[in-house]
A and B are shown apart, each in its own frame.
Chain A
């Protein structure tokens, strides 16, 4: 099986945008093709990662509409929905399309338009992924985070401040990302005194509601070499599913989907946690960064907070995490987020990350759907 390369990327401005979802998707899709110097007519497969354009906007069939808008017909198109991990699932689908030999050029575009809805409405669209016994009690994704954070802090005797430091770090990284929703540092005091959203978590422990789109272009490595010497290779990728009902998990601080998909990606790539130079983790809530660090083997269970306290996950630390600013500062347009994680890792590996650049040959991204319900872990490496 030939290796699958990434040869182009793009990302729109994330934040509150006037454009609707199809316009956002077109902007990112065309920019990605332009970045790689590939024509739309050369695209065999087009995947669109999106969670809820029907619910947010009343617009369905967006993969077909996008294909026409960017002149990619008659490419095969498919919309990929895996809630918040739609973007990662899109990377997996795009990788499969190339690895299987079905496509020699696959464009993946993720996007979501959310900010025209109130916070309550957007929260409800996202919470609609919950089981009926959860939904009728008004359980939301932020409330899962509050429940889990309290358990984690109590059980592992972790200081509340350590979660706040995740927010401080990711906001600091976002300052250097020109596409980020928030490009403003916050201090720990501001985080810890912000309004309570889901006790013990506060406003700055949560990502914002965001509009935006991101794209990646994938092809066989032999085709990549016809276009460029600067590309990345997806050497490991896997997806896994945990229980739909969150309280049924044996250990509330372990996300089985993270562990399983991580192990699959490590095995496929032949890599280990120590080999990872840079990682993008799904920090929809600060507590998730701890759970993924532990599930992916970057820290022992209950000890991720210590690495954050020691500065190991800062941009100049041993393992920089969320150099893009993460979902926390960059924003979280559901279907785009997993793709945007891939964009950051790709740019780090090919040396296009600008002020955010770190030394990296191997990168990892972990995209989480629901509250750990579905997870995709991807390992990318710079072309050798």
Chain B
């Protein structure tokens, strides 16, 4: 499992990747964000969670800086003890929410991924 971001021909990076980037730029490589640390931009603890989602659900938007280029990601946080500006690292979880408990077709997407853990 990797946490793949796309780098586009104009140098920008996005997570997730898209078939086309800014100004129609094509992707030229993938970057595994799980190998990097990031900084918390903002966070929340959600208590009204949908079926199959842990409660409470700690979430954060984090920002990675890869060779001077910023890219953000959203994801669960391992703890509610978190603050804006904290450094976090991705840690693998084999099931982020229960497939099939919600409305989305289980086979339509992946359910494992990376939570963010304070460094």
A134-150 Cβ-contact flags toward B at 8 Å (1 or 0): 11111110110011101
Complex contacts, B59 vs chain A, CB 8 Å: 137-139, 143, 146-147
CA A276 to CA B50, docked complex, whole Å: 39
A318 smallest CB distance to B (angstroms): 31
Complex contacts, B108 vs chain A, CB 8 Å: 132
Asked if B16 contacts A199 (CB within 8 A), the reply is no
Asked if A138 contacts B72 (CB within 8 A), the reply is no
* Size bracket, chain A contacts: 35 or more
B20 smallest CB distance to A (angstroms): 13
A58 smallest CB distance to B (angstroms): 12
Asked if A124 contacts B47 (CB within 8 A), the reply is no
Near A by CB (< 8 A), chain B positions 82-109 give 84, 96-97, 102-104, 108-109
Complex contacts, B57 vs chain A, CB 8 Å: 137-138, 143
Complex contacts, B46 vs chain A, CB 8 Å: 138, 140, 142-143, 146, 197-199
Near B by CB (< 8 A), chain A positions 114-147 give 119-121, 123-125, 127-128, 131-140, 142-143, 146-147
Asked if B103 contacts A142 (CB within 8 A), the reply is no
Given B42, B97, B104, which contacts A147 in the complex, CB threshold below 8 Å? B42
A19 contacts the other chain (CB 8 A)? no
Most chain A CB within 10 A, of B15, B75, B84, B113, is at B75
Asked if B41 contacts A138 (CB within 8 A), the reply is no
Asked if A124 contacts B103 (CB within 8 A), the reply is yes
Complex contacts, B102 vs chain A, CB 8 Å: 124, 127-128, 135
Nearest B residue (CB) for A199: B45
* Size bracket, chain B contacts: 35 or more
Given contact pairs A120-B49, A132-B110, A247-B72, A138 touches B97 in the complex (Cβ within 8 A): yes
B31 contacts the other chain (CB 8 A)? no
Asked if B84 contacts A150 (CB within 8 A), the reply is yes
Complex contacts, A150 vs chain B, CB 8 Å: 42-44, 84
Given contact pairs A131-B16, A247-B74, A121 touches B50 in the complex (Cβ within 8 A): yes
Asked if A124 contacts B84 (CB within 8 A), the reply is no
Asked if A196 contacts B45 (CB within 8 A), the reply is yes
Asked if A123 contacts B104 (CB within 8 A), the reply is no
CA A248 to CA B73, docked complex, whole Å: 8
CA A264 to CA B45, docked complex, whole Å: 36
Given A120, A133, A197, A198, which contacts B16 in the complex, CB threshold below 8 Å? A133
Asked if A246 contacts B74 (CB within 8 A), the reply is yes
B47-65 Cβ-contact flags toward A at 8 Å (1 or 0): 1111111100101110000
Given contact pairs A143-B46, A150-B42, A252-B41, A138 touches B54 in the complex (Cβ within 8 A): yes
B34 contacts the other chain (CB 8 A)? no
Asked if B41 contacts A198 (CB within 8 A), the reply is no
A193 smallest CB distance to B (angstroms): 15
Interface on B for A, CB 8 Å cutoff? 14-16, 41-54, 57, 59-61, 72-76, 84, 96-97, 102-104, 108-111, 113
What 14 additional pairs, Cβ within 8 angstroms, besides A124-B51, A154-B84? A123-B50, A124-B50, A124-B102, A128-B103, A131-B16, A132-B109, A135-B109, A138-B52, A140-B46, A140-B48, A140-B50, A142-B46, A147-B44, A252-B42
List of 4 A-B pairs having minimum Cβ-Cβ separation, nearest first: A146-B44, A138-B53, A124-B50, A132-B109
Sample 17 A-B pairs with CB under 8 A, ordered by A number: A120-B48, A124-B103, A128-B102, A133-B73, A136-B96, A137-B97, A138-B97, A140-B46, A140-B48, A143-B59, A146-B44, A146-B45, A146-B59, A147-B74, A151-B84, A198-B46, A248-B14
